[in-house]
Amino acid sequence: MKRMIPIGFALVSTLGMHAQTAPLEIQAKFVKILLSSAGQFGFACNDPSLKAKLESMGVSVGPGFKYAWGSSEAEVRALKAQDRFIICPAVEWLKSGGCIAIVEEGGKPTLYIHVANTKASGVTVSDAISRIAKKI
């Protein structure tokens, strides 16, 4: 069992090397899809560009929502301590507490889901999202 943990982190690191930050438009669309699939109407986000884009798409943005954007690894850690469901732009940040990473691989948007962090947040992800996301 002890050997599997380092292998898992090596896999996350390797996957992260091939992933790039998805464009703002893609991030916003996937956040809205994730919220809609969960029946959520609001989102916590401190990133001014993403916040403005989400608001222009009709998403309520404020600090008190369960679903939150982690715009840095430190913010991901802080949000994890609050038991939030954290969506972030980097696969590497999943090991710090992120639940879903929205990235771009080979010119295509890709979702990565960290199953344990998602369970710890208390959020159940829809079957549709679970099927398309790569699991870590």
Residue type, 103: V
Among 45, 55, 131, which residue's Cα sits nearest to residue 88? 45
CA atoms within 13 A on the CB side of 72: 5
Which CATH superfamily, name and number, covers 4-135? Response regulator (3.40.50.2300)
Per-residue pLDDT tens for 21-50? Answer: 999 999 999 999 999 999 998 999 999 999
Among 30, 5, 16, which residue's Cα sits nearest to residue 125? 30
CA–CA separation, 78 and 2 (whole Å): 27
Per-residue pLDDT tens for 42-87? Answer: 999 999 999 999 999 999 999 999 999 999 999 999 999 999 999 9
Degrees (nearest 5) of the Cα angle 82, 110, 44?
Answer: 30
Q: What is the pTM of this model?
A: 0.85
